[in-house]
Amino acid sequence: MRPNRLFVVVPCYNEEEVLPETSKRLAVKMEELIAAGKIAPDSRVAFVNDGSKDKTWAMIQELHGQNPIFTGVNLSRNRGHQNALLGGLMTVMEDADMAISMDADLQDDINAMDEMIDKYHAGCDIVYGVRSKRKTDSFFKRFTAESFYRLMDKMGAKTVFNHADYRLMSKRALQGLADFKEVNLFLRGIVPMIGYPSDVVYYERAERFAGESKYPLKKMIAFSIEGITSLSTTPIKLITKLGIFMFIVSIGMLIYSIVQLCLGNTIGGWTSVMVSIWAIGGLLMISMGVVGAYVGKIYLEAKGRPRYIIEKYLEEEKKD
């Protein structure tokens, strides 16, 4: 029986510093897996260039020319990590029996791929790479990251705890992912919705080999908001509950004012008035902001613009 063909999809944005080492380690791992009969000899590593401004795409083309195990997907412009990852997965879907997605920074343990493939052969369509520890993270990063996963769960956006985008997906799972058409992507929440048999593989995440993180605090906060608003309507429901609460408080204040009037205490306090104005004004602005975020998403979805455009797929050149 022919081994299944694996595509390792690696989104890249300005990764010229780390790409030589990443390609070297992935080449060795792929050769090991082929020699063990776990994957087909024509399996590939597909680097996805997300509109890099450095020499990343030139290096991908060079790797493709030197070793047939490497191929590349070039997006027409920068579309962000999630769109680049989706673009790569959808591009290789027809050629792959299974695909593993991972970042280029070598923080994900490539040796966990062996166990992922074993679980795939055991019948799992999706295998999540889950961090067993966060030793390499600072206390602040560890606290905020774990709080993010818990908050997502509380908000009704179900994700796999301590899982990023290191996962294996079968062809059937990729085809299921293709049915999700939303423009506002949060793959960590979308993939569990596919619902096919899944499992997890635990691994220790290393420090970034070289270069700078593409997710500083500002981007992490924006990513968190994107995830919550893309997968859950809980914030809208919270606004409704907050409005009911404020209405109850206002009734209480009305009763209090009438009682004070009957008692002859008709001189109001300046402090209480100012606090009330600022508190209500702040709540209104926050509520408008949350509603605006959802309206903005509806606006983007209604346009139906493409999530990515493939400028070139190196594997197609060989087919031609």
DSSP string, 9-50: EEEESS-TTTHHHHHHHHHHHHHHHHHTTSS-TT-EEEEEE-
pLDDT at 97: 96
Instruction: Provide the residue-wise pLDDT of the chain in tens; the chain has 320 residues.
Output: 678 999 999 999 999 999 999 999 999 999 999 999 999 999 999 999 999 999 999 999 999 999 999 999 999 999 889 999 999 999 999 999 999 999 998 888 999 999 999 999 999 999 999 988 756 566 666 666 667 667 667 766 677 877 888 999 999 999 999 999 888 788 888 899 898 999 999 998 766 555 555 555 566 666 666 666 666 667 777 777 777 777 677 667 667 766 766 776 655 565 566 567 767 776 777 777 777 777 777 777 777 788 889 999 987 666 55
Strand partners, 74: 49, 312
**What is the full DSSP assignment across 59-80?**
HHHHHHHH-TTEEEEEESS---
Q: Are 26 and 118 in contact (CB under 8 A)?
A: no
For 255, the token pair is: 């009763």
CATH 3.90.550.10 at 6-214+306-319, yes or no: yes
**What is the reported pLDDT for 145?**
64
The one-letter amino acid at 114 = D
Residues in the chain: 320
Q: What angle do CA 227, 232, 238 make, to 5 degrees?
A: 115
Amino acid identity at 78: N
112-to-47, 74, 131 alpha-carbon distances in Å: 19, 27, 11
Class of residue 77 by CB neighbours under 10 A (exposed 0-12, middle 13-18, buried 19+): exposed
Structure tokens of 87?
């673009």
Torsion angle (degrees, nearest 10) of CA 7, 10, 15, 21: -50
